[in-house]
């Protein structure tokens, strides 16, 4: 046969030198890279165009309370600091929050879940490469010749045992023609993202729970102190009334009315003390410790400073920092990738396999000329009839994507509502604190006046009871108003996403 002169000599030499295995590997790479990923490509939802949270211009809360300069102001467009709890200026609070972040078992479990998800993603990425395995078998055999030779024939060959050694390498590869493996890896990556944002959500919930527990403890201590103060006043007045009764100035019924008032005030202490103990138990548990361990930190209202400047980040920034919103976005990513997998499962698929090795009767003869073997194979599959299973799975994946998109929109709406609710509450908190402080001051003056009139015998017992009850309720209301203002500040930091950065994970 005459060789065409159009084939370059260098090409002819290269063709003779290229091993068959290299040709097979090249084919695998070409098929793998030439594939396309079916299904929708994920695109993050567009950030809303809103520039503020309320229809009207956001007015700062203003001042409120007994402290001079106790006002708060909103810093629109400012970013929330990562350690937002430092705004309360309490070293004890900072210590317990940091301790809870380092020891809480729920956070440890969430971190482990991230590692699991990332490892699963890496495992799926391994399917992009040929799967290579090796095995070796050795056997000792004796085959009967009774079926082919007459055992009575003197010329019959006697049976002879022999050994067979076969080491070989197996290669299997599934070219990702339709991007099924790409989409499956994308699904697992999205799951890892969800786990990351769930960890951030757990961290945010933990820190806000710790700060709120500290505020709750401080509020309980203040209410207990106020109740004990009114109990002391009522006890003093009861002694006065008993002296007046002994002098015949009042009746026994007046004394008993004061006894009832004192008992009612004393009844308030056990629930408040129980609440205080449970708040401390909660903080101990949040730090990952057992309640048998004593916590040295204590919290009073005066030790928790009201944050003066409250950052109000832009809506787009808020959504980028809200863990629940980002987790909902990752669910859309996962659902879109799952749809690609469902579509790819309905399309033709190719499996490439290769097997190469050596087989010899003696181990020393392995890999000598004439003992090698190889097999190259390719198979193609195409679902034809599955009873509608694959089509139904694709429809389910499409519906799941719609569900994830709706859940994301709901998460965005909820995030806006949370921020707006916190802003509205803070705007009203200053008024509530001012009113509560004014009411307590007036009730205190009234009680002082009535105590003086009672000693002079100018008022009856009912006026005293009303003054006592008014002072007690006004004091408790003032404490609760101040506590609510602190808690609403926490709610705003939490609603804005707490300043946590996913890039740190």
Determine, yes or no, domain membership for 348: yes
Q: In 3D, which of 31, 45, 124 has the Cα closest to residue 325?
A: 45
In this prediction, residue 456 carries a pLDDT of 76
Q: One digit per residue, pLDDT tens: the chain, 505 residues?
A: 333 333 333 333 333 343 444 444 444 444 444 457 899 999 999 988 888 999 888 888 866 555 544 578 999 999 999 999 999 999 999 999 999 999 999 999 999 999 999 999 999 999 999 999 999 999 988 877 665 556 566 666 667 888 888 999 999 999 999 999 999 999 999 999 999 999 999 999 999 999 999 999 999 999 999 999 999 988 988 898 898 889 888 888 888 988 998 999 999 999 999 999 999 999 999 999 998 888 889 999 999 999 999 999 999 999 999 999 999 999 999 999 999 999 999 999 999 999 999 998 888 888 889 888 999 999 999 999 999 999 999 999 999 999 999 999 999 999 999 999 999 999 999 899 999 999 999 999 998 898 888 777 777 777 888 888 899 999 999 999 999 999 999 999 999 999 877 666 6
The Cα 278–Cα 187 span in angstroms is 43
Determine, yes or no, domain membership for 31: no
The Cα 334–Cα 120 span in angstroms is 14
In this prediction, residue 44 carries a pLDDT of 92
Half-sphere exposure of 152 (CA within 13 A, CB side): 0
> Which two three-digit tokens encode residue 380?
């193609």
Determine, yes or no, domain membership for 154: no
**Which residue reads 């956001």 in tokens?**
58
Determine, yes or no, domain membership for 156: no
Count other Cβ atoms within 10 Å, centred on residue 393. Answer: 18
Contact 314, 321 (CB under 8 A): no
> Which two three-digit tokens encode residue 466?
């009303």
Count other Cβ atoms within 10 Å, centred on residue 418. Answer: 19
- Residue 379 forms beta bridges with which residues? 351
Q: 360-379, pLDDT tens digit by residue? A: 888 888 888 988 899 999 99
Domain count, the chain: 1
Stated length of the chain: 505
Q: In 3D, which of 161, 139, 159 has the Cα closest to residue 147?
A: 159
Determine, yes or no, domain membership for 10: no
**Which residue reads 């102190």 in tokens?**
225
Contact 189, 121 (CB under 8 A): yes
Residues 240, 244, 250, CA angle at the centre, nearest 5°?
120
Instruction: Give the helix/strand (H/E) hosting 378.
Output: strand 372-381
CA–CA distance from 85 to each of 12, 40, 231, 482, 494 (Å)?
75, 42, 35, 17, 10
| DSSP state, residue 62 | B
Residue 263: which domain range? 46-137+163-504
Residues 303, 304, 305, CA angle at the centre, nearest 5°?
110
Numbers of helices and strands, H then E, in the chain: 11, 6
Beta-strand relationship, 162-173 and 309-312: unpaired
Residues 454, 460, 462, CA angle at the centre, nearest 5°?
115
Q: In 3D, which of 51, 102, 502, 78 has the Cα closest to residue 307?
A: 78
Determine, yes or no, domain membership for 393: yes
Determine, yes or no, domain membership for 195: yes
Whole-model pTM: value is 0.83
CATH number of the structural domain spanning residue 408? 1.20.1600.10
Could you please report the per-residue DSSP string of 208-244?
A: HHHHHHHHHHHHHHHHHHHHHHHHHHHHHHHHHHHHH
> Which two three-digit tokens encode residue 154?
């003197």
Contact 240, 454 (CB under 8 A): yes
| DSSP state, residue 146 | T
The Cα 477–Cα 485 span in angstroms is 12
Distance of CA 222 to the CA centre of its chain: 34
Contact 415, 495 (CB under 8 A): yes
In this prediction, residue 181 carries a pLDDT of 93
Determine, yes or no, domain membership for 3: no
């Amino acid at each position: 046969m005459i060789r065409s002169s159009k084939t370059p000599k260098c090409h002819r030499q290269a063709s003779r030198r290229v091993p068959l295995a290299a040709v097979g590997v090249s084919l695998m790479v070409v098929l793998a890279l030439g594939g396309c990923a079916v299904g929708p490509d994920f695109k993050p939802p567009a950030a809303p165009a809103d520039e503020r949270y309320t229809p009207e211009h956001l007015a700062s809360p203003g001042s409120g309370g007994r402290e001079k300069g106790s006002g708060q102001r909103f810093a629109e467009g400012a970013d929330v600091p990562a350690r937002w709890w430092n705004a309360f200026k309490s070293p004890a609070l900072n210590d317990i929050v940091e301790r809870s972040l380092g020891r809480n078992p729920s956070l440890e479990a969430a971190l482990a879940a991230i590692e699991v998800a990332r490892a699963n993603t890496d495992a799926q990425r391994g399917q992009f490469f040929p799967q290579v395995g090796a095995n070796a078998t050795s056997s000792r055999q004796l085959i009967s010749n009774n079926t082919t030779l007459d055992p009575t024939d003197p010329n019959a060959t006697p049976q002879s045992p022999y050994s067979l050694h076969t080491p070989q390498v197996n290669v299997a590869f599934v070219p990702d023609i339709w991007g099924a493996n790409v989409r499956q890896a994308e699904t697992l990556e999205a799951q890892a993202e969800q786990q990351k944002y769930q960890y951030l959500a757990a961290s945010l919930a933990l820190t806000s729970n710790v700060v709120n527990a500290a505020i709750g403890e401080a509020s309980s201590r203040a209410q207990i102190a106020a109740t004990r103060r009114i109990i002391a006043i009522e006890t003093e007045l009861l002694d006065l009334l008993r002296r007046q009764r002994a002098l015949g100035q009042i009746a026994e019924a007046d004394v008993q009315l004061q006894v009832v008032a004192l008992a009612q005030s004393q009844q308030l202490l056990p629930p408040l003390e129980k609440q205080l103990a449970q708040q401390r138990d909660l903080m101990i548990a949040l730090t990952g410790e057992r309640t048998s361990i004593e916590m040295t930190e204590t919290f009073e209202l005066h030790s928790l400073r009201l944050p003066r400047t409250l950052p109000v980040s832009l809506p787009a920034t808020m959504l980028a920092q809200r863990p629940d919103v980002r987790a909902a976005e990752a669910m859309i990513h996962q659902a879109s990738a799952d749809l690609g997998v469902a579509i790819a499962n309905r399309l033709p698929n190719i499996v490439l396999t290769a097997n190469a090795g050596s087989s010899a009767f003696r181990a020393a003869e392995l890999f000598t000329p004439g003992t090698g073997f190889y097999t190259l194979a390719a198979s193609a599959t195409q679902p034809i009839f599955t009873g509608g299973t694959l089509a139904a799975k694709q429809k389910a994946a499409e519906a799941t994507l719609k569900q994830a998109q709706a859940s994301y929109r709901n998460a965005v709406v909820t995030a806006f509502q949370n921020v707006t609710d916190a802003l509205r509450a803070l705007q009203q908190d200053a008024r509530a604190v001012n009113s509560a402080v004014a009411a307590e001051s007036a009730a205190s003056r009234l009680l002082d006046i009535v105590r003086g009139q009672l000693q002079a015998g100018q008022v009856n017992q009912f006026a005293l009871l009303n003054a006592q009850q008014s002072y007690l309720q006004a004091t408790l209301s003032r404490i609760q108003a101040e506590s609510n203002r602190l808690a609403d500040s926490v709610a705003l930091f939490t609603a804005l996403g707490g300043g946590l950065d996913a890039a740190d994970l």
